[in-house]
Amino acid sequence: MTLLVSLAGLFVVWFVAAHLIGSRIFPPPGQVFAFVAKETVSGELPFHLSMTLMRVVGAFAVAMAIGSAIGIALGQSARLDRFFDPWVILFINIPALVTIVLAYIWFGLSEAAAIGAVAVNKIPNVIVTMREGARSMDPHYSEMAKVFRFSRLTTLREVVLPQLQPYFAASARSGIALIWKIVLVVELLGRPNGVGFQIHLYFQFFDVAAILGYTLAFVAVMIAVELLLIQPYERHARRWRPRAA
């Protein structure tokens, strides 16, 4: 109920602001939703939204896989961590725009370059989070696994991964929040489709209703992903921890 009241209040503020500022500069909700409905019926919105989501999923999977593997390795080896820590600091501070531009210059305006550029921007953040997770693992569990002669696969599945689940969840949450923003920039600069491409297209026509329509549609999908996938997984990953009073 609180959520519904909050959303209703937001739309009231939006409606009033649109009338005070002017519909051409700040279109009212009805105009934006009419555009979304038209684009949905024509198939344009579902197509461009699906292309953007494909890039988000691809970059997210690559960043989580590579970043987790490197982060766990650095967390388990002090020597590797000392050697590669300057690299992590360097890459985590490179602006996303620089990475995107260089990827397009070096590898062309391709899908692989687009997804790779987004993933490279996220990998250092995953490394940092998973490195801390690997450092915080209880060595007693690993010793117990050796006593019971667990295989490496069993140790990974029953000992290592359960301890790292909260850190996977934290990386996933921050990853989605960062990746979907960078994907729009990637599409704006070098892809012929997607939400970012459409926003850039309608920017040239100064069509604010269209820009807001595509933005709200994409944000709605990302919120659904957060509520239906990320938060349930996060609760599952932290289920063994005592809840705060």
The answer to whether residue 143 sits within a structural domain is yes
CA-to-CA separations, 6 to 9, 12, 50, 133, 146, in angstroms, rounded: 5, 10, 29, 36, 54
pLDDT score of 245 more than 50: no
pLDDT band at 3 (very low <50, low <70, confident <90, very high): low
Do the beta carbons of residue 188 and residue 119 sit within 8 Å? no
The answer to whether residue 245 sits within a structural domain is no
The predicted-structure confidence for 11-22, as pLDDT tens digits, reads as follows 888 888 888 887
H and E: helices and strands count for the chain: 12, 0
The predicted-structure confidence for 165-200, as pLDDT tens digits, reads as follows 888 888 888 888 889 889 999 999 999 999 999 999
The answer to whether residue 149 sits within a structural domain is yes
Q: At what angle do helices 44-76 and 111-135 cross, to 10 degrees?
A: 40
Do the beta carbons of residue 225 and residue 232 sit within 8 Å? no
Q: What was the pLDDT predicted at 239?
A: 67
The predicted-structure confidence for 42-80, as pLDDT tens digits, reads as follows 999 999 999 999 999 999 999 999 999 999 999 988 899
Q: Which residue has the tokens 């990853």?
A: 175
Do the beta carbons of residue 56 and residue 230 sit within 8 Å? no
The answer to whether residue 187 sits within a structural domain is yes
Structure tokens at 229: 């996938």
The answer to whether residue 243 sits within a structural domain is no
The answer to whether residue 36 sits within a structural domain is yes
Do the beta carbons of residue 56 and residue 89 sit within 8 Å? no
State the total domains in the chain: 1
The whole-model pTM stands at: 0.85
Structure tokens at 74: 């650095």
Q: Which domain holds residue 145?
A: 28-237
Quote the CA–CA distance of 209 and 29 in Å, as a whole number: 9
Q: List the one residue out of 216, 162, 204, 166 whose CA is nearest residue 33.
A: 216
Neighbours of 182 (CB within 10 A): 23
The answer to whether residue 2 sits within a structural domain is no
The answer to whether residue 227 sits within a structural domain is yes
Q: What is the CATH number of the domain that holds 167?
A: 1.10.3720.10
